[in-house]
Amino acid sequence: MEQGQGQGPARSRLGRGTLLLMSTATGLSVAGNYFAQPLLDVIGRDLHLSSATAALVVTVAQVGYGLGLLLLVPLGDLLERRRLAVVLTTATAAFLTVTASAPNGALLLIGTALTGLTSVAAQVVVPYAATLAAPSERGRTVGTVMTGLLLGILLARTAAGLLAELGGWRTVYWVNAALMLLMALLLRLRLPTLRTTAGLRYPALLRSTLALFAQEPVLRWRAALGALVFAGFSVLWTAMAFLMSGPAYGWQESAIGLLGLVGAAGSLSASAAGRLADRGLVHRVTGVAAFLLLGSWGLLAAGGAGGAWSLVALLTGVVVLDGAVQAVHISNQNQVYAIRPEARNRLNSAYMTSYFVGGAVGSALTSVVWSAAGWGGVCTLGAALAAAAVAVWLAERLRPGSRSASAGPAAQPSSAASSAASSSSTACRRPAGGSPSAARIASR
């Protein structure tokens, strides 16, 4: 288990200001991957790109982020985490400037892909915060940091539209690059050092990340849930622009971007879900959120007709769906982070890769379903994914031993985790010259 957290294992080393900084940093890190979505037409005209080439901007951002989850996030279990977070944040700022100054499509795609790769600094900061927090506050802490990340995703489109109107599409990238440099400086000054040495070389570290799926049933269940709910989230936001710009509503792009503000209201549930998880209610939160997710698609379906009442139903459905998705996600992270504290970054890499794959599959399916069946087909697809999430939650709850396996922050680790924790604890007591410490944390 992790050692050296402050003056005792139950004492949090996170002040309110530091927690807010980490939340802001995660939001700004991921925002760069979503700026292009409402600006593709403008970018294409400026750089003389075809619509297909312009659309690749979104794709390469997703590919870069996925590679970062697989290749960079596990490094948090090998390297000093503050330094890793600062280096990745600084690199993101540099790559944003490449995108902002790109004279052609090729350099634009390179800058976007590299920005996506290093923006996984956000996924280094989240388990970093979970480790620094006292166990009784871990859910609230993760919820607070994730609120910042989710606001970054949802508000990126709104910010991109507004700044593009003020100074062109490049403006939002220049502004974000400056803010990321500021974040790197503040993270370097405010965060305590945190080292967790896995005792593995990099190739073995990557193999052990994949091996966690075979070793940890809680990870498998929660990864499946995460993939399904984020697939539903992607279905909604991929199809939303088609619906709102179509004959039912006829909105302009700038107005469509403001829908991110509505979705942001749902993200506020992340902190509440974290607090409930700290009280040992993580499974109930997951179940209630999964059923709310299923119900939200009924409201969204009613919103497809156009008109005032349909708009009210649509906006309500957006808030409920986003809130439910975030509640499931925070509950999942609370469970996953409790499995093996010494492997928290690798667990996060494994879980978030599944989460990301679910989102990519949801986006791909939406394009096909929208062309074949319109908004009604999209809502059917979303409801089917939500129903599958409910089924996974029920299956997890009904499996033998599930009620005592991982009920919250105080949950007992699996036998494999207990063995790892025992070995880690032993390694921590060995003198210099022996095996590296499993978790050595030193305050600034």
The DSSP secondary structure of 133-171, one letter per residue, reads S-GGGHHHHHHHHHHHHHHHHHHHHHHHHHHHHHH-THH
pLDDT at 157: 77
Residue 408 pLDDT level (bands cut at 50, 70, 90): very low
* Separation of CA 170 from chain center: 25
Q: Confidence band (pLDDT; 50, 70, 90) for 349?
A: confident
Q: Residues 90-128: pLDDT tens digits? A: 999 999 999 999 999 999 999 999 999 999 998 899 888
> Quick one: pLDDT at residue 312?
94
Residue 177 CA neighbour count, 13 Å, CB half: 18
Ranges 193-197, 272-276, 393-397, most confident:
393-397
Residue pair 84/195 in contact by the 8 Å Cβ criterion: no
Q: Which residues, other chains included, contact 135 with Cβ-Cβ below 8 Å and sequence gap of 6+?
A: 9, 10, 409, 410
Q: Kindly indicate the confidence band of residue 186, based on its pLDDT and cuts at 50, 70 and 90.
A: very high
pLDDT of residue 13: 66
Q: Which residues pair with 195 in a beta bridge?
A: 80, 440
Evaluate if residue 2 carries a pLDDT over 80. Answer: no
- Rounded mean pLDDT, 408-412: 42
What confidence score (pLDDT) does residue 172 get? 93
pLDDT at 436 over 50: no
Q: What is the pLDDT of residues 6-17, one digit of tens each?
A: 333 445 567 888
Query: Measuring CA to CA, which residue among 226, 276, 419 is closest to residue 339?
Result: 419
Instruction: Note the pLDDT of residue 177.
Output: 97
pLDDT at 431: 33
| Whole-number pLDDT of residue 102 | 94
Look at 408 and 220; give whichever has higher pLDDT. Answer: 220
Do the beta carbons of residue 330 and residue 139 sit within 8 Å? yes
pLDDT level of residue 412 (50, 70, 90 thresholds): very low
* pLDDT tens sequence across 39-82: 777 888 899 887 667 767 877 887 888 889 889 988 888 888 89
Residue 165 has pLDDT above 70, yes or no: yes
Q: Alpha carbon of 385 to those of 114, 281, 363, 376: distances in Å? A: 31, 24, 12, 14
pLDDT reading at 34 higher than 60 = yes
d(CA 86, CA 17): 18
Reading the block at residue 282, the tokens are 């993580």
Q: Please state, in angstroms and rounded to a whole number, the distance separating the CA atoms of residues 49 and 57.
A: 11
Q: How far is CA 3 from CA 33, 118, 131, 188, 354, in A?
A: 35, 28, 10, 22, 29
Least confident of 94-103, 162-171, 197-206, 365-374: 197-206
Task: Taking residues 396-424, report their average pLDDT.
Answer: 49
pLDDT recorded at residue 52 = 67
Instruction: Work out the mean pLDDT of the chain and round it to a whole number.
Output: 81
Residue 171, burial from CB neighbour count under 10 angstroms (0-12, 13-18, 19+): middle
pLDDT at 79: 85
Sign of CA dihedral 351, 184, 201, 64: positive
CA dihedral 225, 336, 412, 397 (to 10 degrees): 0
More confident position, 141 or 314: 314
> If you compute the radius of gyration of the chain from its CA atoms, what whole number of angstroms results?
21
Mean pLDDT of 342-357: 86
Report angle CA 437, 440, 443 to the nearest 5 degrees. Answer: 160
Give the percent of the chain with pLDDT over 90: 34
pLDDT at 334 over 90: no
- The answer on pLDDT for 398 being more than 80 is yes
273-277, 380-384, 419-423: the lowest-pLDDT one: 419-423
